[in-house]
Each structure stands twice: as C-alpha cells, then as structure tokens.
Amino acid sequence: MPTVFIVFAFCISLGAAAQSFKDAKVAYDQGDYATALRIWSSLAEQGSAEAQERLGALYRDGKGVSQDYVASVEWFRKAADQGDGKAENNLGAMYARGHGVAKNDAQAVNWFRKAADHGNALGQTNLGRMYTQGRGVPKDDAEAVKWFRLAAEQGDAAAQTNLALMYAGGRGVPRDDNAAVLWYRKAAEQGFASAQDNLGVMYRDGRSVTQDFAVAVELFRKAAEQGYAEGENNLGYMYSTGRGVAQDYAEAMKWYRKAADQGEAHAQTNLGYMYAQGHGVSKDDAEAVLWYRKAAEQGHARAQTNLAYMYLQGHGVPKDEAEAASLYRKAAEQGLPQAQNGLGVMYRDGRGLAQDYVAAIEWFRKAGEQGDASAQINLGLMYRDGQGVTKDDAAATQWLQKAAEQGDKRAKSMLTSIETRGQDSANLGSIVAELVKKYEDAQPQVLNPDAERVALASQLIDALEFRKRLANLPEGFDQVDSPARIAKVSPKLIEAIRLTAVASFRPEKLVKSLDKKLAQTLDTPTLQAGLDWERSDLGRRINALELEAERLEHRAAKKEFVQQFVAKGRAADDARGRACGEKLILDNSPDALLPLMEALAAAGAMAIAVQQEQPLDMRGIEGAMLIVRPTLRDVARQAMLAECLFSLQDLSDAEFERLLGFLHTESGGRYARGANAAQRDAFLDATEVFARTLIDVARKLRANRES
C-alpha cells in the first residue's frame, strides 16, 4: 500500500506541475504576466529548467516584474546548466548583447553552440550569425550556411531568410537566385517581415522571377505594415517612382518618414532627396541637409555624396568645399562610383583640396571601371588634354566610347570630334595645297608685295592651323554643359553658346573666301613672295614675337577689364549684381568671365565673317585661340561663370543690359584693333547678338520661375 501511494502521489505531482506550467503559459498568452510570474517562480524554485527559462524571459522583458537583466541571466544560467536549449540560446544572446553580464562574444558562441548541438533552431540561427560576422569565431560563411540550413529545415523563418541572403549574395555557397527565392518565400509565408521585403526586392528587380512591380508592392506593404523599416522604405520608393502603384509623392513621403524615424539610413537619404527636390513637400534644402546628415553619420555612402553636393553648392548649409571633399572621400572609399567621380573632380579642379591631376585620374578610373559614364568622360578628357597623364587620343577614345555605349550624348559628341579631327585637318590641307599649287603654276611675275598681300598669303598658310584650333571649340562647350546644368543655367542658354561656337566651324568657307579674295587681288609672284616671307626663319621669328606681344597685351587688358567689371558689379543697385561681382574676386576666378566671353565673341565674329565671305585677320584669330585653349581646359572656372550668369537673371532689365553692354563693348573692342571696318562691325555684331541672347534667356528664366 505505501508503495502504491508513493507512485500515485508522484504521478499526481507530475500532473500538477504540468498543469501549473500550462496554466502559466495560458496566463502569459492572455497578458496576465503577474500570474505567469507567480507560477513559473514556484516551479523554477523547484528546479524546473523549463520554468527557469521562462522566468528568465520575464525578467529580461520586464513583464510582470521590473526589468532586471542580472536576474534574467541568473535564471537562464540555471536552466542552461541543465541543458535546456532555449535557455542556452538566451544566455548566449545576453552575452552577445552585454545584458546582465559583460559583453563576451566567445561566451556567446559557446552557449549558442550548446543550444545548436541540442537542436535548438534559434541557437543554430544565432551561431550562423556569429560566423557571418566573425564574432567570437573566425568569419566563415560556409559554416554559417551549415547552421542556417539546419535551422531553416526546422522551419525557423529567420534562418530561412538568412539562408536566402547567403544564396542571393553567393556567400558560403555558389550564388543561386532560385534557391534564394525559394527560402525567402518559405519565410514570407510565415509572415516574416524581412523575408517579405527581400522577396519583394526579387520581384521588383526580376531576379529569378518574372519582374512584377505589383507583387513587389504587395510584399513591401506586408512588411511595412509590420513596422519593418526596410519594407517601409521600399514601399515609399515604389510610390515615388510609380512602380506597381500610381505615382504619389505624398504617400512616398509618408512611408519614407516612418522608416527614417526608425533610423533607416536608406529612407533618411530618400527623405532628404524629396526635400531637396520638393517632391511631395515644399522644397527645403535645410531639411534635406538634416536627413542627409543623419544617414551620412551612419556611413551611408549615397547620403554622404548628396551631403557633399549640398556643401559644394552651399544649399542648406554655408558653402564649404573642404567639407564636400571630405564627404566625397568617405563615400568614395566605400566604392560608390558617383562619389569617386565627385572626388576626382575636386582633385582635378583643386576645390577643397590641393589640385592633383594624378589623384583625379585614379578616382575617375575607379568610378569609370564601375561603369559611371560621367567618370568615363572625365577620364577620357584627361587623356585627350594630357592632364596628369601623357596625351593619348586612343585612350581618350576608349573611355569616351564606354560612356557613349551607355547612351551619353556628351561622349558621342566628343568622340565625333576626336575621330574627325585628323581627317578634317588632312582634308583642309589638301584643299589649301591645291589652291597654292594653282597660283604657283601660273607664270611668275616680279612684283613687290605690300603689307595687305603678305597678310593674305599668311592667311592661306595659317588656314591649316585655324581649322585645328577651331576644332577645340565644340568640344570645349560640351565641357561647359555639365557644370552649367549643375549651376541651373537654362539649357537654352547652353544651346545658344554651342550654336555660336559651331557656327564658326566652317573652314571650307574660309578657304573659299580666301580663294576669291586672292584671285581678285594677288598675282602669283605676290603670293609666292608672301609665302616665302612667312616660311623664312626671320618671318617665323617675327610672327612669334608679335604673338607674344599680343598675349602680354591681352593679359594687361584682362586685368584692367576685371577691375572695371567688379567695380560696376559692386555699383549695381541690385544685391545679386553686387554679389556676382564680389564672388568673382572672392573665389579667385575673375579671369573665368572674360576669356569665355571673348572667345564666344571671337567665335561669333568668325562665323559672321566666314558666312559673309569676308577676309579674316588671322592674327586676331590667333589671339582668340590663345584665350580659348586654357579656358576650355578649366571646367571649374566655366562652372563659376555659369553660376554667375545664373545669378544675373535676377537683375533688373536696365542693370542687366548695362552689365552685358559693358561686356559687349570691352570684348568686341578688344579684337577690333587693327581690323578693317567690316571686321570691326562683325565683332561688335556678334557680341551684340550674344548679349541679347543672354538677356532674352534670362528674361524667360525669370518669367518661367514667376509663373
């Protein structure tokens, strides 16, 4: 009887314990944490490992009791010492986070491994994570995959998602998007937000599934509605771009903000962009900077790049080129091609750091090798112009071709210029040679050449050089295009500049004009005498001295012009006019304005003269080319000009005409010295047309903005 009683009592005791644990679980599920605490505390004191683990969880989460990590660790350890897999995993997590104990990755791995060896799926998942991160163990993606797979096959959604990530990234296993989709789907069907978001990305990008924006939106929404920040950001992106849903900037802003408020760096960057562009919200550069900075401080490369641009332009923050360069570097060192190109530009132009063409080439190459078209163009131009590298048209063509293959119109235009440069010069040379031969074959007559005839003969020889130098103009204005657009100059203004340059790209008309003029005024001996003089050693030396004298004269005149322009800018009634004048001095680039304006005036004058078949003073053209060459190589100065021109659009009509009239008078008059009346009128007409074009474009810009 006593024995029967003992067995019976023991069975009753076990039944009561099981019932008590179950009651505690029911109470917990119903939110009655106090009851759960009371029951599990009693059972834990009796040595129940299961109850000890649950009691540790209550202390960890502060449910039914004040949160107490130390007490939590104590109860997890008691259960773990009895081999409870859940407790072993939880104790490992406390060591990994430093909750209730000093943070210790080695101890975390120790307890995760014990749990994993006992078949605990969470322990296997966490052990896999430690291997992917190299925490407490050497980093080993293959070992991580092993543990993720064991847990995934038990149905653990986190492990399934992690295993999918390993397949998608080719980490520890060969890349396999099909396997990634399979495991993402298994976890997503369990409602696991991270898996839903990642599966949405696969559908959005068409990776191993048919691209389907609508399905992607559905998956992103499921993750977002669980408060998953990445899902919120991705859903915002779909609304912003109108993929799978009607474009809705306000809805995009809503989801971006939800994610950004959780600290999600991608969303913070996107939110900053929305403010910078005024999409779904009033344009606010200061707010854009605020969000870019939040993401940049987390090391987000695109945010660092965008913030660098804001500093470079002085949008929402005081202009600071050194800070811009620093931010570009941080992003560039993470491998972002746009930042690498940006840093290359800073080195090339000496903005925010010392000018260094070699460093510029290095960063352009890094970005170009990743397929960044702007960097490929910049690298091509460095090779073309021999900046920081030996001049190499073949290498320039190679890099420009890469950009052109991506559909970049700038690269296509530059390629055409490089490819035809040699051919055009050769063709023109042939034309001139035939023209010379025609006169040389005539019966010689002995006449004394006068100055005008010698000058005309000189034009014939210089025609070859004229075509070669003029070839730089359209390419140069292609370089103006990008920085001018960055400075928000109207495309119409850029097109007006380009047409002015291209109009002068007519060497055949020049030769035709010379042929006609020579036939009227020169006989063969006169021509021959002129040719002999120009080819003689003395003639060449005199020409060189004259060109140097003109260059020095121009330098002095340019300095005087800058001083006058700044004085007039400071005297302007409009504050923007004063700021423009002061900016030219403060930024140490006043010479950016005059060379480009005069080069344009010269180009326009040449166009008019050629079209009207008027003879050209080649010495004047040579003077123009001396200005054009350095100006076209300095994109940074052109960007400064573009920015200054953009500021002029806010001037009053009277003030605008006064400033541009001054430019017209000074630049036109500079090349009118020594020219005949027709040439003088041509120069003045060209600059007048250009000035009026600027005024018209600026007025349209102002009208569009006001409307």
Residue 270 has pLDDT above 90, yes or no: yes
- Rg over CA atoms, the chain: 38
Q: How confident is the model at residue 384 (pLDDT cuts 50, 70, 90)?
A: confident
Which residues fall within 8 angstroms of residue 323, CB to CB, at 6 or more apart?
308, 311, 352
**pLDDT value of residue 74:** 98
Please state the rounded mean pLDDT for residues 552-574.
Answer: 41
Please state the rounded mean pLDDT for residues 306-333.
Answer: 96
Range of 96-100, 400-404, 423-427, 618-622 with top mean pLDDT: 96-100
Percent of the chain exceeding pLDDT 90 equals 52
Residue 200 has pLDDT above 60, yes or no: yes
Residue 611 has pLDDT above 50, yes or no: no
22, 32, 54, 65 from 36: Cα distances, Å? 10, 7, 9, 11
**pLDDT value of residue 536:** 53
**pLDDT value of residue 598:** 42
Q: How confident is the model at residue 309 (pLDDT cuts 50, 70, 90)?
A: very high
Which residues fall within 8 angstroms of residue 446, CB to CB, at 6 or more apart?
525
Q: How confident is the model at residue 409 (pLDDT cuts 50, 70, 90)?
A: confident
Q: How confident is the model at residue 689 (pLDDT cuts 50, 70, 90)?
A: very low
Least confident of 46-50, 255-259, 503-507: 503-507
**pLDDT value of residue 250:** 96
**pLDDT value of residue 418:** 67
Q: How confident is the model at residue 537 (pLDDT cuts 50, 70, 90)?
A: low
**pLDDT value of residue 372:** 95
Task: Kindly state the DSSP code that residue 649 receives in the 8-state scheme.
Answer: T
CA distance linking residue 95 with residue 108, whole number of Å: 5
**pLDDT value of residue 76:** 97
**pLDDT value of residue 535:** 52
Please state the rounded mean pLDDT for residues 155-171.
Answer: 97
Residue 24 has pLDDT above 80, yes or no: yes
**pLDDT value of residue 540:** 53
Q: How confident is the model at residue 420 (pLDDT cuts 50, 70, 90)?
A: low
Which residues fall within 8 angstroms of residue 331, CB to CB, at 6 or more apart?
301, 302, 304, 305, 308, 338, 339, 342
Percent of the chain exceeding pLDDT 70 equals 56
**pLDDT value of residue 327:** 98
Range of 232-236, 387-391, 436-440, 646-650 with top mean pLDDT: 232-236
Least confident of 97-111, 283-297, 414-428: 414-428
Please state the rounded mean pLDDT for residues 589-604.
Answer: 41
Higher-pLDDT residue of 185 and 19 is 185
**pLDDT value of residue 110:** 98
Residue 303 has pLDDT above 70, yes or no: yes
Range of 375-389, 440-454, 688-702 with top mean pLDDT: 375-389
Higher-pLDDT residue of 107 and 653 is 107
CA distance linking residue 89 with residue 109, whole number of Å: 9
Higher-pLDDT residue of 430 and 469 is 430
Residue 269 has pLDDT above 80, yes or no: yes
Q: How confident is the model at residue 410 (pLDDT cuts 50, 70, 90)?
A: confident
CB count in 10 Å sphere of residue 542: 13
Please state the rounded mean pLDDT for residues 62-84.
Answer: 97
DSSP string, 373-425: HHHHHHHHHHHHHTSSS---HHHHHHHHHHHHTTT-HHHHHHHHHHHHHHHHH
**pLDDT value of residue 417:** 64
Please state the rounded mean pLDDT for residues 509-517.
Answer: 44
**pLDDT value of residue 623:** 37
Least confident of 27-41, 283-297, 631-645: 631-645
Please state the rounded mean pLDDT for residues 339-349.
Answer: 94
pTM, full prediction: 0.60
pLDDT digits (tens, 9 = 90+) for 457-469: 444 434 334 334 3
**pLDDT value of residue 563:** 44
Six token digits for residue 372: 């960044």
Please state the rounded mean pLDDT for residues 97-107.
Answer: 97
DSSP string, 127-165: HHHHHHHTSSS---HHHHHHHHHHHHTTT-HHHHHHHHH
Mean pLDDT (the chain) is 72
Residue 18 has pLDDT above 60, yes or no: no
Q: What secondary structure, in 3-state letters, does 43-91 show?
A: HHHCCCHHHHHHHHHHHHHCCCCCCCHHHHHHHHHHHHCCCCHHHHHHH
Q: How confident is the model at residue 20 (pLDDT cuts 50, 70, 90)?
A: confident
Q: How confident is the model at residue 492 (pLDDT cuts 50, 70, 90)?
A: very low
Q: How confident is the model at residue 391 (pLDDT cuts 50, 70, 90)?
A: confident
Check if the beta carbon of residue 145 is closer than 8 Å to that of residue 162.
no
Q: How confident is the model at residue 421 (pLDDT cuts 50, 70, 90)?
A: low
Please state the rounded mean pLDDT for residues 586-606.
Answer: 40
CA distance linking residue 614 with residue 161, whole number of Å: 77
Residue 223 has pLDDT above 70, yes or no: yes
Higher-pLDDT residue of 75 and 464 is 75
Least confident of 124-128, 311-315, 352-356, 676-680: 676-680
DSSP string, 435-494: HHHHHHTSPP------HHHHHHHHHHHHHHHHHHHHTHHHHHHHHHHHHHHHTT--HHHH
Residue 481 has pLDDT above 80, yes or no: no
